Every structure is written in structure tokens, then in C-alpha cells.
Structure 1
């Protein structure tokens, strides 16, 4: 396996502009770790098994694991009303505040705007201060009705964890997940990372070569949604637990709860099929997949994937925007060469171009919006960052050209489904699902 996969990793990194990457695979009773490139282009430090990467939104599954631990131990219930834990919680829709439950936070179905602005500061009150701003978050739909990826909801769940445990969010994760699993190379704070080998994100420089980008990309109030920094070895420890329950200490959750976390709770739009607690659920060909992954401002991108029925787990950690395509290639290779599973096509019958005009307009997603125009038989989605994001210096993303399949899926030119239109009963055409988010037309 090693030579073929190593060649794919090396070639893909060069082609896609990924300065450095590491992949880890749990393959039955075997484990494999392969690296390529450098952690930082300016220092030339090589990526090794000990290099720390920001794992981004895979952190949400740690938050979910802690929440399910509290539920399993009788300190919370799935149907606990959030306001019973956080009586000062305010949302723009008072009715939504009264009906919002823990299960809605776990399944990204709180219904309020999912990408709230973060606040500066690294004090223990970071989450509490951020949640205090939620009174201005608009409500898109009633809690529990539609899955729409929600960083804001995961922050709220992190604050619930703090109040219930009497610890900071990071202390609770350390006690309940990291220590029992022996994850000694996993951290939350930049001052913990700076003295250890770590990757930095990269963007194209003026001459087109990849250059380090001076952005951490996370404030403390974002830790529950995306703040973890980890090594490939620790990611494999985490994978072994959620794949088959292996642990060096007391399991964070019992077997029944671990498996329940991987069961569909609410259907979702492409590129996944359903939401668990809070895993993202889909299929690779006919293989059932339990997954997540993360994206830190397009400068560090990761994949994390379990195939429980095939005793397979894959983690991919990268340090540039090309990491998304690299991760997809690695995952495809592993399924095909290790398990004989190939992807399947859903067909390409398209909606009539004459029906596309009803989908054009400007759709809000919080920290950015999409200007959607019709271009021939396709829709062009131009992503426009908010002033706060622009101020960080994050490079703009090129417009996406998407076609609309007959079943409503929004697909790329190579047929990958990345979103879907919604029926009028679901709020369409005023709402679209794109990148797991329900975005609303102005």
C-alpha cells in the first residue's frame, strides 16, 4: 500500500499547492501514517508524525462527545430546554428561545443564524461573552425542522457544558475525552502550540508560490466549534475510540451512546445525507460513512472519516486550501484500494435552464453572502465576505459555477453535489442549502 499511496500524496500535494500534509489510516488491525512536504514554507521544517495541525470543525465532535457523556450520566437530557441551563439566553425570536433543546444544538437545527461574529479575548469568560450577543441573531426556521450547519449552535452547546460541569469548556474536554483516550498531543491554546512542532497555513504569494499566512484563525469563543490542534497520532487514537470503542482509560461514553451518536437524527443537504450527534453521515459508494473534517479560513483543511462496517478510519491534515481536493483523493484511494469500494454517480439530468431565474438573488450566510446569477444553463455563486472577514486578509474565493440537477441538487461541473434547492414546504425558494447551511434570500 505504502508506495502507491505515498506517490499519490506527494503528487497531489505538488499539483494542488499543499506545502505539507500527513495522513493516518486505521486499516483493521494495522495503522499507517504517511507524510509529505513542510510544516512551513519559510522554515522548511518537515511534516512529521508529531506535527500539530488545526483540525477545525472536527472539534465539534469532541463537543458532542462531552455533551453525550453528560447526558449518559444524567446531568443533561436530549430534550433539556437550553434556557433551563442558561436562563439569560436571548435570541431575536423569543418563541425559539423557549423551544430550543439540547438535541437541536447537537443536530445543527437550532434555526438561528449559524455564523455569528466572534469576539476577541482569551479569558475564561469568552464563551459567556459571545453567547450574550445572540439576541441579535435572526431566526431562519423553527428549532428542529431543518438541519443547517451552525457554529453558533456549537458555541452555545459549549457554554451549556461549562455551566453543567462547573469547568471551562477546555477543562471539560480534557477531563472527559483527552485524558481517558491518552491524547497528549492535542491542545486548544496557541501558547501551548508555539513551543511544539506545528504547521502554519499557506496562501499563494504574489509570485504564485505558497507562502505562510500569519493567521491563527480562532479566538477562544470558537474553541467548541473549531479550536482543537492535534497530531495525526492523537487523531488516530480518537478514531479508534469512535470506530470500535478502544481507549486507554475510562471511555468518554459507553458503547450504546457511542453508536447512537453515529445514527441519523435529521436529514441534511449535500454533501452529506444526515446529521447524527453531531457526526455528519453519508455514503461512499455503498459504504456507510461517519465523518467530519474542518476548514480554518482555507489555510488549514482536514478530513476525518470512519467507515464502521469496513473497520476503516482515515484522517488527513493539510496546511493550505488545496487540502480539500487532496483529502478527497486520499479517501477515494483508500476505499478503492483497501476495501474495493468505488463512488457511484447519481446521474446528471438537469433542470430546465428556464427555471433557474427564480433562484437568483443575494443569500445571507452571516459572515458572508452569495450573489447568485444565472450564466447559461448554470448558476454562478459569488461569495462575498463581510468587512470583518475581509479585515483578516483572507483571500477572496473564486465564484462557483453550479448546475441544478433534476432532483434539486446543486452540482459542480464534475458532478459533485454541494447543496440543494428546497421545496416550498421547506422554505424554498427563499432558502437554499449550500455547504450544509440553509442560506436565506434577502
Structure 2
């Protein structure tokens, strides 16, 4: 009955949300479930199977974090190692920040410099080193360790640290320390490895409203540490079993104490999560403690990955279109409610006076995009404007977001989902605003 009801939800949600294909994997105590729907590519009609590879996007950051914690556990790094002591040629726009930047800041998204730096073309072994050499131009938004602000650039820098400490390429280090011990034989970084295997293609809305394939890989090699992994649902479940229970077919990636430490709050964060671990994103669903990440490759492949350590439950959802975000949320909600009796209800809270919203309007810079924020009645409208080089890729624009401001400063959607927050003056507000886990600066 469980599989039948969930399969029906998966099929119906995929049709309604314009998701050509998806696969979900669930660890439910001593049972595992894998369900699929639809096609890997709308033009070929190839079905999604358990073997279909999907780009998992930023869930890759937890692999990078796991490698870093392995090196720390083995005495090759420390959490308080200065990054410049590993990378003496590192330059940031703020020299004080360079001197104070620690490994723990990279793991907790608190380096303080612009988090969405441009990528560079090229697939050579020097890809990360070439990109890090450009960091001298990244603006510093706040001092390292001050607040959490989601940082692709910081995770990229951590990947380069891993290369220097291990003497391997980043991908070789992940293979040796994570993939091989877990038997993850269907997980890859390079497109030439993926192209010979069944794999999903990303999709976007076409001119006539249909969902059509979009010929974009979406990742360059210098982005592998932050989002480059391509994997099957089976391998994602292998990864989940380790971080949920410590299970591995080979040597442990990290010891039990380190594995659990990675899942503990290290720095508070703003909605939609509560805190950052090393480098897991931490929150609650009802009373259930949730350790999570997920990924988004240019709104064409979107994934969910999360587990509830105290409930022996893990869920992964892999999809091949922008509608996958809503689909993943539905699947996760269903699993918590029907498998564990856990539901999330909004407590509700008074809204900030509309007259107080004007101080938040303006243009906020996030590097690869900016938000034009205007007041519309009792709410704020956030128009996300991609930079020219993102637009040139052909990625469809996102519709504006209508967000209200609660009395506690949370930015909430019309269905009361918190997605950001205002910042106190001590944190840099109102010139800084926190949205989508990122601190963005008003121009």
C-alpha cells in the first residue's frame, strides 16, 4: 500500500509540475524503497530507471566536507588551520579577512566573501587553482565567522585546500576517501564518464508551454567541489546509509564521533534552515531533527537529500526539471507524515507594518544575479535578474517572488514558508539581507 500510494503521488506530481522524469529512494528502518516515473529525456523517451544518473548539484558539498573532515581526523588539517597557511598565494579583496580565514569558515559557509563567484571554462587538472587565483576581486561582505551565507566560492576554495593537502586532484581525493570505501561505482564527475551510461537530461519550458530538453551540462570542472557529482539513486542511498548509521562496505570515511559532529549545529543560519553543521544544513520538521542538503543545476536538474537521524529515515529525490523542487517537497512531506507521523504546521506570527518595508527596498547584489526589491502593498516583490553571462546560457528567468515580513524579521511566502530574514544592524542590516541562505548586499 505504501509503494502504491507514493507511486501515485509521484506520477501525479510529475505530470502536474512538468517534471519529465524522477527517481526517489527511501531508507525506512530496515526497508528500502526505490520508485521511478517518466523519462530521462523527453526527445528520446528513454525511461528513468534505478540506473539513471542525475546531477545532484550542491549535495556534492557534503562529499567535499566529508573529505575535509577525514583529513582533519587524520591530522592533516585542523578546523582552525588558516587557509593562507595551506595556500600562501591566496588573495582576497580584504587582507584582514585573508589572515583570519580558517578551514571551519569554509565548512560553515562563513568566509564572508562573495559566495557566487564566476566559473572559468576548462577541464584540466589546474581548473580549481586557476579559479582560486581570481579571488582577489571578490568583495568581502562581512568578517569570517560572523554569519552564515551560502558560499559556492568557499566550498570551491576548500576543494583546492584538499588538492594541496592530499597531493591529488580533488576528484581523485573524493574517489579514494568516499566513493571507493562505500562502493559507489555509479557516481562520477566528468561528462565523458556519464555520456556512456543511462543519464537524465535537464528540461525547461518551451515556447509553446511544453517541457523540452535543454542541452546544458551546467558545470565546469572548477565547480566540482560545490556541485559536480552525477550519481544514481542506489549510490545516493549508499551515501545516506553511511551518514545516517555509519554503514560502509569498506573503511569508514570518518569515525563515529566525527560523523555525528558533522551533524551538530556549528553556526546559526536564517530560514529555510536553522543552523550549519560541517557542512550539513540543519533544521526540523515538526519535532524531527533533519540533516539535509539538496542541489540545483541551473533550474534543469534539482535534487533533495536528507535524513532524520533520530527516526532512522533517509530520503533522496532526483529530478530533471525546475518543477523538481516542488515535487521533492511533496515527496518529503508525504514520507514524514505517512512513515513517521510527523507533520509541519505553521505557527503564524504578526507581520511587520507595511510602512516599515520601505527601508528594505532597493537592488541587492548576489554576484551572478541581483534582486530588485520593491514594495507592493503589504509585501515586498523580489525580481531576480540574472547577470548577462547567465542569461546568455539560455536559462529561463524566474518569476518574481512576493514575500511578506514577519515581526521577527523572517521573509515568508504567501503560504507561510520562511525563505529568508532581515538582518540586525550588528549583522550588517539593512544594507545586507539574507535570502535563500545568502547574505546579499544593497548597491
1:207 CA drift (Å): 1.3
- For residue 346 of structure 1, report the CA deviation from its aligned partner: 3.0
Deviation at 1:122, TM superposition (A): 0.1
After superposition, what is the alpha-carbon deviation per residue over 1:208-263, rounded to whole angstroms, capped at 9, x for unaligned? 11000010000000000000000000000000000000001001101000000000
In 2: Cα distance, 1:364 partner to 1:348 partner: 29
Distance in 1 between residues matched to 2:192 and 2:251, nearest whole Å: 28
Q: Report the Cα distance in structure 1 between the residues aligned to 2:112 and 2:213, rounded to whole angstroms.
A: 37
Q: Secondary structure of the equivalent of 1:118?
A: coil
What per-residue deviation string (whole Å, max 9, x for no partner) do you get for residues 101-149 of structure 1?
0000000000000000000000000000000000000000000010000
Q: Are the equivalent residues in 2 in contact too, given 1:120–1:219 (CA < 8 A)? A: yes
**Pairwise CA distance, 1:344:** 2.3
Cα shift readout 1:349-396 (whole Å, capped 9, x = no counterpart): 210000000000000001000000000000000001011101111111
Query: Per-residue displacement from partner, 1:173-195 (whole Å, max 9, x unpaired)?
Result: 00000000000000000000000
Alpha-carbon contact 1:348-1:415 (below 8 Å) kept:
no
Q: For 1:262-411, list aligned pairs within 5 A.
A: 262-411=263-412
Matched residues in 2 for 1:135 and 1:424: separation? Answer: 27
Structure 2 SS opposite 1:414: coil
Contact 1:23/1:35 (8 A) holds in 2: yes
For 1:38 and 1:352, locate their aligned partners in 2 and report how far apart those are by CA, in whole Å: 48
Three-state SS of the structure 1 residue aligned to 2:321 is coil
Cα contact 1:114–1:153 (8 A) shared by 2: yes
Instruction: Please give the alpha-carbon distance, in whole angstroms, between the structure 2 residues aligned to 1:349 and 1:288.
Output: 26
Q: Is the 8 A contact 1:177 1:252 kept in 2?
A: yes
Gaps of 5+ in 1: none
Post-superposition shift, 1:206?
Answer: 1.3
Other structure's SS at 2:181 match: coil
Deviation at 1:348, TM superposition (A): 3.7
SS of aligned partner of 2:303: strand
Q: What secondary structure, in the 3-state scheme, does the structure 2 residue paired with 1:180 have?
A: helix
CA distance in 1, matches of 2:423, 2:271: 12
Deviation digits for residues 251-280 of structure 1 (CA, Å, limit 9, x no counterpart) = 110100000000000000100000000000
Cα distance in structure 1, aligned partners of 2:28 and 2:212: 34
Comparing 346-355 with 291-300, greater Cα deviation is found at 346-355
Deviation of the 1:425 alpha carbon: 1.1
Task: Measure, in 2, the Cα distance between the counterparts of 1:204 and 1:84.
Answer: 47
SS at match of 2:283: strand
- Give me the whole-angstrom Cα distance separating, in 1, the residues matched to 2:399 and 2:418: 18
Structure 1 residue 55: Cα displacement: 0.1
Distance 2:270 2:441 in 1: 15
How far the C-alpha of 1:336 sits from its partner, in A, is 0.3
**What is the alpha-carbon distance in structure 2 between the residues aligned to residue 150 and residue 253 of structure 1?**
24
The runs of at least 4 consecutive aligned structure 1 residues that moved more than 4 Å come to: none
RMSD over aligned Cα atoms:
0.4
CA distance in 2, matches of 1:89, 1:393: 33
For 1:111-260, list aligned pairs within 5 A. Answer: 111-260=112-261
Query: What 5-or-longer segments of structure 2 have no aligned partner?
Result: none
C-alpha distance in 2 between matches for 1:290 and 1:346 = 22
8 Å CA contact 1:55–1:230 kept in 2: the answer is yes
Distance 2:252 2:19 in 1: 36
Aligned-pair CA distance for 1:345: 1.0
Q: How many residues align?
A: 442
Note the C-alpha offset of 1:170.
0.1
**More moved, 177-186 vs 347-356:** 347-356
SS of 2:118's equivalent in the other structure is coil
Stretch moving more, 383-392 or 176-185: 383-392
1:151, distance to aligned residue in structure 2 (A): 0.2
Shift of 1:406: 1.0
For the residues of structure 2 that align with 1:265 and 1:344, how far apart are their CA atoms? 26
CA distance in 2, matches of 1:111, 1:259: 26
SS across alignment from 1:223: helix
> For residues 48-97 of structure 1, what are the alpha-carbon distances to aligned partners after superposition, in whole Å with 9 as ceiling and x for unaligned?
00000000000000000000000000000000000000000000000000
Q: Distance in 2 between matches of 1:48 and 1:384?
A: 36
**Which deviations, in whole Å up to 9, do the C-alpha atoms of 1:142-181 show, x marking residues without a partner?**
0001000000000000000000000000000000000000
CA separation in 1, counterparts of 2:417 and 2:326?
12
